[in-house]
Structure 1
Amino acid sequence: MPEHIDKLSISVVVPVYNGGKTIGRAIEHLLRQSLPPAEIIVVDDGSTDQTANILRSFGSRITALSKANGGPASARNEGVRVANGSLIAFTDSDCFPEEDWLKELVKGFHSLEIGGVGGTVRAASGGLIGEYVDLHGWMNPQCARDGSVLYLVTANACFRSDLLFQVNLFDERFRKAGGEDTELSVRLRSFGYEFVFVESAIVRHLHRRTIRDYLKNIANHGEGQFILETLWPQQRWKANRRKEIVRSAAGLGTMLRFYRSYRRQYDRKRAFVFSLLDHCQYMARIWGYLRGKRELSSSSLRNPLTRDPSAVVYPNENLGSSSVLVPKV
């Protein structure tokens, strides 16, 4: 392992909005890490529930920040700006990292070409929605056919702090949870950096309890897809992918095909729920995409942040000298 790994310090940043039911448990898991973080920064993004009181109860064990509501991208940026670590690890207020989470994540930074490391996200409790998401691995880092990691998911991800500043942090035009981590990953990869997936770095996520809440979250990702495509046209769904989504959303015959496929492995209840989720999430994603197209101005999404020539570089002595990088074209 390279010598610079021993010098790394880790700051953990957690955005929270009305997460009073789970944020205390999330912080307790962070405080029990076998590799203790240098600091735990929790950013209250304008919560109206008991979140602020819960954060105060932890006293000096955490750094609690408060801001007006602006979305998780904005909240994460607020935390990164005050963080002191060479690495910034992200998780969410409804996520519970296992004891060796940070210890395993840091192993992925084995060279200076590595810009970020992601881990495995699994359901925190029983329930068909959590089982369904785990089955498809949709909250894990997504990989290309050649095995390279395309993007990380901020429920379980860690980035070099100097690189976050090089690319101007998260794009705050993503005001909802969905797509902002993908867009950040696209920017980092455009600068030539690579990602690593460490399966043994595990976070448990408390998934939505109802199908309605789950589909609402999927719609937010559909809206995020619109923003991503507007900023990065090369990230548009291919024509055959678009046709597949529309066809799957429109026909009940597709749901029946899903059901038959699931029935080979699962009981009738699971096969029905999983096929229903497959069918409905296509519709939710399309609805969210069209909502974004209707509500968001394309002119305000003209350029990705990486194309800002005034980008600032923050050298990090523990990671080697940094230089201004030119995105690949």
Structure 2
Amino acid sequence: MDKISVVIPVYNRADWIGKTLDRIFSQKHDIYEVVICDDGSTDALTEALQPYSAKVKLITITNSGPAIARKTAIEHATGDWIALCDSDDFWLDNHLAYFLKAVNLFPEMNFYFSDFHASDAPERSKLEGAPLGWLAALDSEETSSTDYLKCNKKLYAALLKFQPCFQSACLFRRTLYEQVGGIDPAVSRWPSEDFHLTLRLAAIGRAVICTIPTVIINKHEQNFSADILGNFEGRIDILEKIIRDSSVEADLIRQTQAEVEMSNLELFRLYYWHNHYQGMLERFRRTPKKYLMTKDYLRLLKRIVTQAFSK
């Protein structure tokens, strides 16, 4: 049977890590190993991990950002499957059970993620908020269970429009990770850094989505995911890097470029509503003029006038 390595990057999560580990160790299926990379924490993380010292492999590095910490943990793991989990998220008891069922149903699968609930919006799951027809467009028509969807080759394009693949709900084969070149340390401190790996896995992976929520993603002031504008800007940076590096095939590069153009327009409008003058100007410059409407020019003019009279 394939071995599962759980990898956890952690920075100053002494108050969270025990709760996260308790939920991992409560799974009803064996885990080969849990590898934690401490990204130079300055809190009481060492003390918080003491009760788990016999159960986890701990690596400590100089503070380098979440992507490098995650990359380091993966490189110290030895399992066939890599199961990601952030240090402040919670697996439900059924998380690995649903994954292992998918392995049996879809033996060719090498990329898997499940639905989840976010702590700040527990009334519906992430996939329940998907755009109309999003899941149906991905169906390969080979799915043999209502709990899963075997994806066709449109997953990359679908993730450009809606992103339900979060790290703590994701597993992939080590061989796929190596095939895409692993985590790029250059993005380690970028907002939305995890999207860089997710897209490259989706571009060539044989993916299955579990439509049952098996994870709780915790949103709080201390994690990157709470910064809406910063994550949006980081997402654009990630897409532009994929284009520069030619990380995916040519047709996907073209789709990525189109998404960058539309995202710049959307971020321009977001900066307008948040009264962020410099951010609005930058995104206006980067948005192709064919996408701009009369109201966008009027919004820009309004902010310019407001800015001039405020000096």
- TM-score normalised over the length of structure 2: 0.67
Provide Cα deviations, 1:292-324, integer angstroms capped at 9, x if missing partner.
x9xxxxxxxxxxxxxxxxxxxxxxxxxxxxxxx
Separation (CA, whole Å) in 2 of partners of 1:242 and 1:138: 23
1:231 aligned partner = 242
Contact persistence 1:120–1:198 (CA under 8 A) = yes
Separation (CA, whole Å) in 2 of partners of 1:163 and 1:245: 33
Contact persistence 2:7–2:36 (CA under 8 A) = yes
1:76-225 aligned within 5 A: 76-109=70-103, 110-111=105-106, 113-124=108-119, 129-131=120-122, 134=125, 146-147=137-138, 148=151, 149-150=155-156, 152-176=165-189, 178-190=191-203, 192-200=204-212, 202-209=214-221, 215-216=226-227, 218-225=229-236
After TM superposition, give the deviation of residue 71 of structure 1 in Å: 1.6
Contact persistence 1:101–1:202 (CA under 8 A) = yes
Separation (CA, whole Å) in 1 of partners of 2:190 and 2:26: 27
After TM superposition, give the deviation of residue 44 of structure 1 in Å: 0.7
After TM superposition, give the deviation of residue 23 of structure 1 in Å: 0.7
After TM superposition, give the deviation of residue 134 of structure 1 in Å: 5.0
Q: 2:42 aligns with which of 42, 48, 57?
A: 48
The amino acid across from 1:56 in the alignment is Q
- TM-score normalised over the length of structure 1: 0.64
After TM superposition, give the deviation of residue 240 of structure 1 in Å: 4.3
Contact persistence 1:176–1:220 (CA under 8 A) = no
5+ long unaligned stretches in structure 1: 1-6, 252-279, 294-329
Contact persistence 1:44–1:64 (CA under 8 A) = yes
2:268 aligned partner = 246
Is the partner of 2:171 in helix, strand or coil? strand
Separation (CA, whole Å) in 1 of partners of 2:52 and 2:95: 21
After TM superposition, give the deviation of residue 201 of structure 1 in Å: 5.1
Is the partner of 2:115 in helix, strand or coil? strand
After TM superposition, give the deviation of residue 136 of structure 1 in Å: 7.7
Question: Does 1:8 pair with 2:30?
Answer: no
CA RMSD of aligned residues (A): 3.4
Is the partner of 2:167 in helix, strand or coil? coil
Separation (CA, whole Å) in 1 of partners of 2:196 and 2:46: 30
Separation (CA, whole Å) in 2 of partners of 1:56 and 1:44: 13
Contact persistence 2:191–2:224 (CA under 8 A) = no
Provide Cα deviations, 1:90-127, integer angstroms capped at 9, x if missing partner.
01111010111111123333445423101122134xxx
After TM superposition, give the deviation of residue 67 of structure 1 in Å: 0.9
Separation (CA, whole Å) in 1 of partners of 2:98 and 2:64: 31
After TM superposition, give the deviation of residue 84 of structure 1 in Å: 1.9
Contact persistence 1:15–1:76 (CA under 8 A) = yes
Is the partner of 1:56 in helix, strand or coil? helix
The amino acid across from 1:11 in the alignment is S
Contact persistence 1:179–1:225 (CA under 8 A) = no
Contact persistence 1:104–1:201 (CA under 8 A) = no
Greater mean deviation of Cα atoms: 168-177 or 229-238 = 229-238
Percent sequence identity over matched residues? 23
